[in-house]
Every structure is written in structure tokens, then in C-alpha cells.
């Protein structure tokens, strides 16, 4: 068994991250397996180096250690580009030149597309551009790369994954529309990078928050297209604050740094979290 914890260094870790890390760490250690860290720092404009060090220090405080060096997404851009190139050669991705304003305008049209699990789905404006127009506009127009999801699905057929405690679940990538695989400002989207990394790192069990369960629809399709193994998944309940909302990086009171500064024992906290016992005022909820 190999599990991982994959923080984005865009803020301080909070109790929700601790819960996720403890579950993944204990699952691996209890099975005599390995536990690795991945730093999701692909978004260069939002990632800060200081949060990488702070996150690793928080994990150590919880009594968590890890195998090997943390994997940095920012060091894996060539792999992401190679995978995108393969999909491009198969005609499964296309460049999209739409600005946010273009997309907003077509979504507000009377018969705009329905919402997907992650909000509005892309109306497909650039899917039908001719090769000539693409080639001309690629020269100097900012663009992202989108998956032609319908075409990709035609190559993949029905897709499923094994969800802990639930058995087989069907993936529904079509509900997401033509998702972005490489962005104007970042060479790979979370979906592409995370799917490739989990395979490269040999992750056998993806243990992460239930907020990401819909993403697994897309990850499962990418695994199929790129010939990658499908790990087992466990999407766990989310830690919520007194207001019943899931914690966000701006909830300073729940940050691990502030709990540590308040003299809380990190290892005792990790043991409590492993038993689903949360500090007063916090609860676990399934979205
Ligand atoms: N970096 C992601 C996050 O902080 C986690 C991604 C994953 O576990 O797949 O939400």
C-alpha cells in the first residue's frame, strides 16, 4: 500500500488537512506500506515557498513522517506537457481561446449549458474551430487546452472505480463538459497533474476529502486515456467549523500553526483525529 498527502502551498494547513493526512498516514503505516508527500505547487501565482516548509513542520508536529522526498509538481512540468502532447496527437484536446467574459456571455444565453459538479460547464465554443483557424490563432492568442470529453469517452467506454465502503462507483466525466487540462497561466490543471503524479508515485490508495469525489470522474477518464493504473479511493468526511461549513484556509483559528502555538500536543491530536474525535466546536460532515 502506498498513500499520499498532497497539500497546496497556498496557505496554512488546518484541522481538515490534519484529518486527511492522519487517515492517509495511518492507513499506510497500519498496512506496513509507504506514505509520501506531494506538493501541489503548480499554480505559481498562488503558491508560496514559506507554506511548503510550514506544512512539513505541521506534519512533523502531528507525528507524521514520510517516505522519500516530497514530490513537487513544479518539477514535473515536462511530464505533464508530454501527456498533453499524446492527447493532442490523438485529437482528444483542443485549444480554447475564450476569455472569462466570452464564456460568461455564452452561459447567460437563454439555452446555455447546465451546471456540472464544479459549476458551469464550458459551452464548447472553440471545439468546432477549423484547423486553419486554430493554427492561425495559436500563434499569438492566449489559450488553454481542453479535453474533448465526448470524443474521449467514445474511446473509453464505461468507467468505474472502487470507493472504500461503497464498492464500485460509476464515473461520470460527461457531467464536467470539456475540462481544462492545461491553463493559460499554468502548464497543467490540477486534474492532469494529480492523475499523472498519483500514477508516477505508485499511489495505490487515494485518501482525500469528499469535496474531491467529483474530480475522480475526470481522473478516472484520464487514467483510461493515458493507460495509467486506477488506485482505490476513499473520500472522507470533511471537518466543519461551528457554523457547519467546511474549513477554509482563511479560518485562522483552526490552523495547525495556531493550535501548536496554543500548546496543543500534535501527536495526541493526531490520535484523536484517527478516532474521529475532533476538538470542541468542530465536526465531521459529508457534503
Ligand atoms: N492539493 C489538493 C488540495 O489541497 C489535494 C489534491 C488531492 O488530494 O488529490 O485540495
At 5-28, the pLDDT tens digits run: 999 999 999 999 999 999 999 999
Q: Report d(CA 189, CA 184) in Å as an integer.
A: 10
For the stretch 212-224, pLDDT in tens is 999 999 999 999 9
Give distance in angstroms: CA of 208 to centre of ligand 1.
7
Q: Is the CB of 223 under 6 A from ligand 1?
A: no
Q: Is the dihedral of CA 126, 130, 131, 134 positive or negative?
A: negative
Within the chain, which residue ranges are assigned CATH 3.40.50.620?
Answer: 2-75+237-285
Superfamily of domain 2-75+237-285: HUPs (3.40.50.620)
Residue whose CA lies nearest to ligand 1 atom number 6: 6
Contact residues for 100 (Cβ-Cβ < 8 A; gap 6+):
none
Q: Is the CB of 6 under 6 A from ligand 1?
A: yes
Q: Report d(CA 24, CA 65) in Å as an integer.
A: 12
DSSP-derived secondary structure letter, 247 = P
Give distance in angstroms: CA of 191 to centre of ligand 1.
10
Regarding the domain delimited by 90-183, which CATH topology (the fold level of the hierarchy) does it fall under? 3.90.800
Q: Which ranges of the chain have pLDDT less than 70?
A: 110-113
Contact residues for 89 (Cβ-Cβ < 8 A; gap 6+):
none
- Which pTM was predicted? 0.95
Within the chain, which residue ranges are assigned CATH 3.90.800.10?
Answer: 90-183
Amino acid at each position: 500500500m502506498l498513500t499520499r498527502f498532497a497539500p497546496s502551498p497556498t496557505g496554512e494547513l488546518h484541522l481538515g488537512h490534519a484529518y486527511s493526512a492522519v487517515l492517509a498516514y495511518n492507513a499506510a503505516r497500519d498496512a506496513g506500506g509507504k506514505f509520501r508527500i506531494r506538493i501541489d505547487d503548480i499554480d505559481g501565482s498562488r503558491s508560496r515557498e514559506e507554506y511548503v516548509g510550514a506544512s512539513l513542520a505541521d506534519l512533523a508536529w502531528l507525528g507524521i513522517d514520510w517516505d522519500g522526498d516530497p514530490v513537487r509538481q513544479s518539477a514535473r512540468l515536462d511530464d505533464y506537457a508530454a501527456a498533453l502532447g499524446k492527447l493532442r496527437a490523438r485529437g482528444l484536446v483542443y485549444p480554447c481561446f475564450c476569455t472569462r467574459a466570452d464564456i460568461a456571455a455564452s452561459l447567460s444565453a437563454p439555452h446555455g449549458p447546465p451546471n456540472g459538479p464544479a459549476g458551469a460547464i464550458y459551452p464548447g465554443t472553440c471545439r468546432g474551430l477549423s484547423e486553419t483557424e486554430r493554427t492561425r490563432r495559436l500563434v499569438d492568442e492566449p489559450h488553454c487546452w481542453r479535453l474533448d470529453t465526448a470524443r474521449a469517452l467514445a474511446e473509453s467506454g464505461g468507467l468505474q472505480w472502487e470507493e472504500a465502503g461503497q464498492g464500485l462507483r460509476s464515473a461520470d466525466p460527461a457531467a464536467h463538459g470539456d475540462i481544462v487540462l492545461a491553463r493559460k497561466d499554468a502548464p497543467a490543471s490540477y486534474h492532469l497533474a494529480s492523475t499523472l503524479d498519483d500514477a508516477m508515485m505508485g499511489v495505490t490508495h487515494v485518501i482525500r476529502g469528499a469535496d474531491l469525489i467529483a474530480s475522480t470522474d475526470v481522473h478516472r477518464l484520464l487514467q483510461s486515456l493515458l493507460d495509467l493504473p486506477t488506485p482505490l479511493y476513499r473520500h472522507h468526511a470533511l471537518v466543519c467549523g461551528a457554523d457547519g461549513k467546511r474549513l477554509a484556509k482563511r479560518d485562522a483559528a483552526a490552523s495547525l500553526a495556531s493550535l501548536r502555538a496554543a500548546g496543543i500536543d500534535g501527536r495526541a491530536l493526531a490520535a484523536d483525529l484517527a478516532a474521529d474525535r475532533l476538538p470542541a466546536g468542530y465536526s465531521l460532515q459529508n457534503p
